[in-house]
Chains A and B, each alone.
Chain A
Amino acid sequence: MNVSGIAEFIAALLILVGSMMAVVSAIGIIRFPDVYTRSHAATKSSTLAVLLTLSGAFLLFWINQSFVSVRILLGIAFVFLTAPVSGHMISRAAYRRKVKMSDTTVEDELYDVLHGEGKEREK
C-alpha cells in the first residue's frame, strides 16, 4: 500500500467515524429525558461529527485532486465557533422560560445565583 492509498484509507475512516458520531448524536437527542441533556447531545457530538467528516473530505480532495480547499477549513473553524454558542443560547432560552428539568436532576446551582441563596423553589 503506497502513501496515497494510506491517506485515502485514513480519509475514509474519518468520514465513517464522523457519520457514526452523527448517528450517536441523533440517538442521544431521541433518548435523553429533557431539553438540557438533549442539547448536550446535539451540540457536542454533532460538532465532532462535522469536524471528522469535513476533515475526511478535505484530506480526500487533497490526496486525490491535490486541491487544498480553504473553504472546508473555514467551515470547520466556523462550525467549531458557532455550534457551542447556539447550544448555549438554546439552553439559556429554555432555562429562562422555566422549562422543567428531568426528575433525576439533583442540583440546580443557577437557581441559587439568580434568586438568592436558600430560597425555596417552586415545583
Chain B
Amino acid sequence: MYKTNDLILRTTTSLIAFMMLGFAIYLLIAGHNAPGGGFVGGLLTAGAVLLMYMAYGTEAVEKMIPINFTTLVPIGLAVAVGTGVGSFIFNQPFLSHTFGYFTFPIFGEIELATAMLFDVGVYLTVVGVVMTIILTIANDR
C-alpha cells in the first residue's frame, strides 16, 4: 500500500474553492436583479466547502472552518423570521419589505433592500442543511 499524494487536487482546490466562494457571494448579492439568490448561493458555498473536505480531509477543514454547520440552520431561520417580525415595529403587516437609496464613498448610490436580509437567512439555512446532510452521511461508519 502506498501513501496517496493529492498534490494536484489540493493545489487546484485552494484556487477553485476561493473562486467558488466569490461566485457564491456574487450570486447571493445579484439575486435581486439577475438570476441567483440565497438558494443557489448557499448551494455553491456548500459545494466549495465540500470540495475542501474532499481535498484536505475532515480534521484539516474542521480546523480551518471552526463552525458547526448544524447551528447555521436555526441562525438562518431566525434571521429570516426576524426580517418578517421586524415589520411589526413600523406598524406594517408581516414580511413587509422596504428599500432605500444610500450613497457610499466608492460605489456611489446603491439601492439597499431589506429583502436582502431575508435572502441571507435563506443562504445560511441552505448552507447549514446541505452541509449537515452530507457530513452526516459521510461520517456514517
Q: State in angstroms the CA–CA spacing of A114 and B4 once bound together.
A: 11
Instruction: Say yes or no: A89 contacts B9, CB within 8 Å.
Output: yes
Q: Is B12 an interface residue (CB 8 A)?
A: yes
Q: State in angstroms the CA–CA spacing of A77 and B8 once bound together.
A: 17
Instruction: Say yes or no: B16 contacts A88, CB within 8 Å.
Output: no
Interface residues on B, range: under 10
Q: State in angstroms the CA–CA spacing of A78 and B51 once bound together.
A: 14
Tell me how many residue pairs across A and B have CB atoms closer than 8 Å: 17
Instruction: Say yes or no: A114 contacts B9, CB within 8 Å.
Output: no
Interface residues on A, range: under 10
List residues of chain B with CB within 8 A of the CB of A82. Answer: 12, 16
List residues of chain B with CB within 8 A of the CB of A88. Answer: 8
Q: Is B2 an interface residue (CB 8 A)?
A: yes
Choice from A74, A85, A89, A114 contacting B19 with Cβ under 8 Å: A74
List residues of chain A with CB within 8 A of the CB of B9. Answer: 85, 89
Instruction: Say yes or no: A81 contacts B8, CB within 8 Å.
Output: no
Instruction: Say yes or no: A81 contacts B23, CB within 8 Å.
Output: no
Chain A residues 43 to 82 lying within 8 A of chain B, measured CB to CB, are 74, 77-78, 81-82
Residue ranges of B at the interface with A (Cβ–Cβ < 8 Å): 2, 8-9, 12, 15-16, 19, 23
Residue ranges of A at the interface with B (Cβ–Cβ < 8 Å): 74, 77-78, 81-82, 85, 88-89, 114
